[in-house]
Amino acid sequence: MQETNKKTMPAKQPDKVADKRKQSLYFPEDMLSDIKREALRQDRSLSWIVQQAWRIAREEIRKFPSINLDSDEVDE
């Protein structure tokens, strides 16, 4: 009987299902123009640009003081 050399792979986690509900976000006109220009430059959607900006800035934004006097953390 031949023994095969099988690589062990980590168990695959179920993919998170993205919530694709539409949301309205309002940006100052100059900021929206910058986002549109960057989206065009990268050949990406506005949504993609904003999502990447959030991923990059998320930890820094979480350092901002909370205005909620009861708790410093918000349930996600």
Among 11-15, 38-42, 47-51, name the one with the lowest average pLDDT.
11-15
Confidence of residue 10 (pLDDT cuts 50, 70, 90): low
Residue that the structure tokens 């100059």 belong to: 30
CB 50 within 8 A of CB 26: no
Contact predicate 72/66, CB 8 Å: yes
Domain limits of the chain?
Answer: 29-62
At residue 23, the pLDDT reads: 87
pLDDT in the model for residue 74: 58
Residue 20's pLDDT is: 79
Q: Which of 37, 35, 29 is nearest to 47 (CA)?
A: 35
**CA 1 to mean position of chain CA atoms:** 50
Given pLDDT bands bounded at 50, 70 and 90, which one contains residue 75?
Answer: low
Q: State the chain's mean pLDDT as an integer.
A: 82
